[in-house]
């Protein structure tokens, strides 16, 4: 932990100083009118954590909630990485926010390339690290490659790396490999990130979760903005937890739709290689990603052009949509192929 964070006396908000039963609240300079939104929300989101903890089988003291996973990523840098001194390691390619947060916090970011099948090596991450390496970033299923990282390799890193291993599970609901949350008690250096933005269909409410040891969670709670998760978000997330069955149905629909879309895209003349996915998107190498991306934009269809990303030359990342949306995409891909590719077979 950074020395200034170790020494920090956290801000004590009116709402965190008092917890208990009362009827007259004259402690926070709030307006008494316009209930319930006149009141500051629970800074520790206790009711929501109880619901999430029950669903995920994680104790409340092991849960941090933030304004998206992005908040947890930023707070990990701010708590554990001394600017211009410490560094972090991460698999490459992966989610772009780890590097952006490292740059904002002036912390060196060391990329360790995945192999040709997008697998990572704990050894390679360790070799890239030194006594100033505080965090190691993994993402499984990985974005933008779509594949799961191997569990035994993750465990090997957890056993040998002396800093925190941040395992981003934003897409774990779509994967048969599931979550490693049940392993938290075995690995005090494991930090798991999950989010309401993908499987839960709640990207707009901005709610991210971090699961970790009580000690790490306490540090994150001490340095976060006091009311980082607003009341509307807490209410909507609680409502969604009661619709758990809807979320499960969406996940099953999207997994089946991904397989259907993969079967349609794989044989198209524009497709060079379609990479196996455990998420709600897949990566596909095409004959000319920049040209195809531009063509799709002109036809009102936006995918993610990953051409300039390591190991992803001429690759597009395609999110699974509704059947109708996906059919529109396939139609456009077919049309472009007819004009720009020699037909296969
Ligand atoms: C989409 C995504 C997230 C979600 O971030 P939020 O800030 O919670 O919306 C986190 N990690 C990865 C790898 C993602 O692709």
Do residues 233 and 205 make contact, with C-beta atoms less than 8 angstroms apart?
yes
In ligand 1, the atom with minimum distance to the C-alpha of 197 is 9
**Token pair listed for 246:** 């809807």
Helix or strand (DSSP H, E) at 192: strand 190-195
**DSSP string for residues in 227-266:** T-S-HHHHHHHHHHHHTHHHHHHHHHHHHHHHHHHHHHHT
pLDDT in tens, 234-290: 999 999 999 999 999 999 999 999 999 999 999 999 999 999 999 999 999 999 999
Which pLDDT band, with edges at 50, 70 and 90, does 12 fall under?
A: confident
Pocket test for ligand 1, best of 72, 197, 318 (most atoms within 8 A of CB): 197
Which pLDDT band, with edges at 50, 70 and 90, does 344 fall under?
A: low
**DSSP string for residues in 119-145:** ---HHHHHHT--TTEEEEEEESS-TTT
Mean pLDDT of 26-40: 96
pLDDT of residue 20: 81
Do residues 292 and 335 make contact, with C-beta atoms less than 8 angstroms apart?
no
Which pLDDT band, with edges at 50, 70 and 90, does 14 fall under?
A: confident
Which residue ranges have their beta carbon within 6 Å of ligand 1? 68-70, 95, 139, 143, 168, 170, 195, 197-198, 203, 208
In ligand 1, the atom with minimum distance to the C-alpha of 94 is 13
pTM above 0.85, yes or no: yes
Pocket test for ligand 1, best of 72, 96, 142, 143 (most atoms within 8 A of CB): 143
- 3-class secondary-structure state, position 101: helix
pLDDT of residue 343: 65
**Atom 13 of ligand 1: nearest residue by CA position:** 95
Mean pLDDT of 56-82: 98
In the numeric block, the tokens 């037909």 are attached to 343
Residue 162 burial (CB < 10 Å; 0-12/13-18/19+)?
exposed
pLDDT of residue 215: 98
pLDDT of residue 169: 98
């Amino acid at each position: 932990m950074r020395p200034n964070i170790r020494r920090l006396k956290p801000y004590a908000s009116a709402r965190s100083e008092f917890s208990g039963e009362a009827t007259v609240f004259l402690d926070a300079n709030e307006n008494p009118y316009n209930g319930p939104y006149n009141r500051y929300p629970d800074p520790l989101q206790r009711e929501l954590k109880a619901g999430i903890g029950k669903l995920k089988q994680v104790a409340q003291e092991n849960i941090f909630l933030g304004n998206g996973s992005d908040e947890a990523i930023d707070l990990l840098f701010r708590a554990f990485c001394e600017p211009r001194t410490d560094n972090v390691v991460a698999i490459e390619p992966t989610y772009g926010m780890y590097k952006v947060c490292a740059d904002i916090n002036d912390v060196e970011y060391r990329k360790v390339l995945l192999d040709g099948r997008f697998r990572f090596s704990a050894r390679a991450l360790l070799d890239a690290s030194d006594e100033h390496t505080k965090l190691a970033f993994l993402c499984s299923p990985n974005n933008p490659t779509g594949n799961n990282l191997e569990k035994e390799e993750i465990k090997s890193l957890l056993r040998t790396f002396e800093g925190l291993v941040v395992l981003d599970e934003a897409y774990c609901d779509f994967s048969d490999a599931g979550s490693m949350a049940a392993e938290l008690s075995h690995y005090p250096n494991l930090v798991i990130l999950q989010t309401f933005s993908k499987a839960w269909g709640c990207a707009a409410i901005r709610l991210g979760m971090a699961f970790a040891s009580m000690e790490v969670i306490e540090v994150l709670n001490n340095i976060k903005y006091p009311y980082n998760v607003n009341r509307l978000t807490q209410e909507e997330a609680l409502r969604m937890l009661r619709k758990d069955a809807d979320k499960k149905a969406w996940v099953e629909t999207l997994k089946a739709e991904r397989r259907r879309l993969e079967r349609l895209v794989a044989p198209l003349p524009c497709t060079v290689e379609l990479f196996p996915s455990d998420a709600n998107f897949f990566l596909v190498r095409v004959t000319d990603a920049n040209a195809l991306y531009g063509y799709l934009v002109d036809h009102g269809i936006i995918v993610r052009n990953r051409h300039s990303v390591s190991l992803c030359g001429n690759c597009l990342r395609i999110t699974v949509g509704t059947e109708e949306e996906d059919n529109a995409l396939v139609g456009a891909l077919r049309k472009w192929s007819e004009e720009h590719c020699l037909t296969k077979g």
